[in-house]
Amino acid sequence: MNEKVIAKKSCANYGKSERAGICGGSFFKRDEDGRLIYWIDEEYHNKECEPKDCPYFKNIVLPGVK
d(CA 24, CA 44): 7
Residue type, 7: A
Helices (H), the chain: 3-10, 55-56, 62-65
pLDDT at res. 24: 96
- Global pTM reads 0.82
Phi, psi of 33 (to 5 degrees): -90, 0
Q: How many domains does the chain have?
A: 1
Residues spanned by the domain of 54: 3-65
Model pLDDT for residues 3-51, shown as the tens digit of each residue: 999 999 999 999 998 899 999 999 999 999 999 999 999 999 999 999 9
Instruction: Tell me the pLDDT band of 66, cut-offs 50, 70 and 90.
Output: confident
